[in-house]
């Protein structure tokens, strides 16, 4: 843990402590920081879709699966 002095908006700190059900201001700040980091990481996920990470042919990959038989009524 790192000790530091911060100048924080008292109203925001009180609201965050209440909303997060934190017992201390430090716990509220740490939880808020964790949430911001988690949200930012989630926001970067769409950048990976369609980015060429996976290479291959989906049709080829599916060829090894047995073909489904049609049900006759």
Distances (CA, A) of 30 to 10, 13, 64: 16, 12, 50
pTM, 2 dp = 0.61
Picking from 13, 41, 8, 44, the residue whose alpha carbon sits closest to that of residue 27 is 13
For range 19-24, the mean pLDDT:
97
- Mean pLDDT across the stretch 53-73? 71
- Position 55 scores a pLDDT of 74
Q: Please give the residue that has the higher pLDDT: either 34 or 68.
A: 34
């Amino acid at each position: 843990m790192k000790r530091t002095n911060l100048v924080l908006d008292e109203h925001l700190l009180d609201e965050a402590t209440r909303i997060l059900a934190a017992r201390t201001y430090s716990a509220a700040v740490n939880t808020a920081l964790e949430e911001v980091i988690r949200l930012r990481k989630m926001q970067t996920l769409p950048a990976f879709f369609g980015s060429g990470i996976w290479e291959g042919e989906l049709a080829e990959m599916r060829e090894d699966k047995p073909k489904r038989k049609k049900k006759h009524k």
